[in-house]
Amino acid sequence: MSSASPPKTDRSTEIARSLRDDIVAGRLLVGDRLPSEAELAEQYGVSRPTVREALKRLAAQSLIRSRRGATGGAFVNHLSYEAAHGQQITTSTLLLSMNAIPLETACEARFAMERACAPLACARRTSAHLDTMRAELARQSDAQLSDEAFCASDVAFHRALVDAAANPVLSYQLAGAVEAMQPLMNMITFTARDRARIAALHRAVTDAVEAQDAAACDAALTALERYTVELAGAVMARRAAKAPAQPGS
């Protein structure tokens, strides 16, 4: 029953999964050195290029890092928040762009999670967080700011809010949600009035966090969500009006 079935998957995929299981299950610990490519090739009964493809798969997920030289080899990576973060953003961005997700759905998810952070942020915010939020607020009032920079500032503002919750796991999760939406937001051209209103809502959030008023913060975020959806809806409607239903082929 073991060798009867022709392997449906590639050898390199199998090997990668085998090694990944070893890492996830703790049979290979952080910092451990994997056998050399030649040894792995012999162990699995394949050639070195095949092993290398498997290792590259793991490297793509930041599970291992490779160094060459006498004491080189592949080492089990310490998955930092930063690396996890980066993958989270890539995955979330693609998920959003490839699945025709209504902006409303994405917004809802994002603000739901952000509201989850709010009580913690209110309880634990430091002056550093407040300073960051106020600094971004100031930038957002600058009429010279490009739309892209405005969106970037928006992201920075919300990141500061999330970080104020002082829970790295939450920060990591939210980073994906917030930053993945930036490309979507970048498609919006903001009028001066839009910006003023968004900044005002941001100010309400900041004030609530400073006052450690979780309920007010929640309300401000809810209002911000509603306005964001409204704005985006208007943009989409305008775009749809300009390029009406795909002409049939």
Partner DNA sequence: GGTGTTTATTTGTCAGACAATTGACTGTCC
Partner DNA sequence: GGACAGTCAATTGTCTGACAAATAAACACC
Q: Is position 49 an interface residue for DNA (rule: CB under 7 A)?
A: yes
74 binds, options DNA, a copy of itself, none, Cβ within 5 to 8 A by partner type:
DNA
68 binds, among DNA, a copy of itself, none (CB under 5 to 8 A by kind): DNA
Q: Using the rule CB under 7 A, is 4 a contact of DNA?
A: no
Taking CB under 7 A as the rule, does residue 58 contact DNA? no
23 binds DNA (CB under 7 A): no
Residue 208, C-beta contacts closer than 8 angstroms, at least 6 positions apart: 118, 122, 214, 216, 217, 219, 220
CB of 129 to DNA, least distance (A): 39
**Two structure tokens written together for 178:** 């917030």
* Helix extents (H) in 45-181: 48-60, 81-98, 103-124, 127-140, 147-163, 168-180
In sequence order, what are the beta bridge partners of 76?
Answer: 64
Output Rg (C-alpha) for the chain, integer angstroms: 24
Q: Does 3 bind DNA (CB under 7 A)?
A: no
CB under 5 to 8 A by kind: which of DNA, a copy of itself, none does 70 bind? DNA
CA distance 126 to 120: 12
- For 55, 59, 180, the CA distances from 141, given in Å and listed in that order, are 49, 43, 24
List contacts with a copy of itself (CB under 8 A): 12, 16, 20, 23-24, 26, 30, 49, 52-54, 56-61, 63, 78-81, 84, 87-88, 90-99, 101, 105-106, 108-110, 112-113, 115-117, 119-120, 165, 167-170, 172-173, 176-177
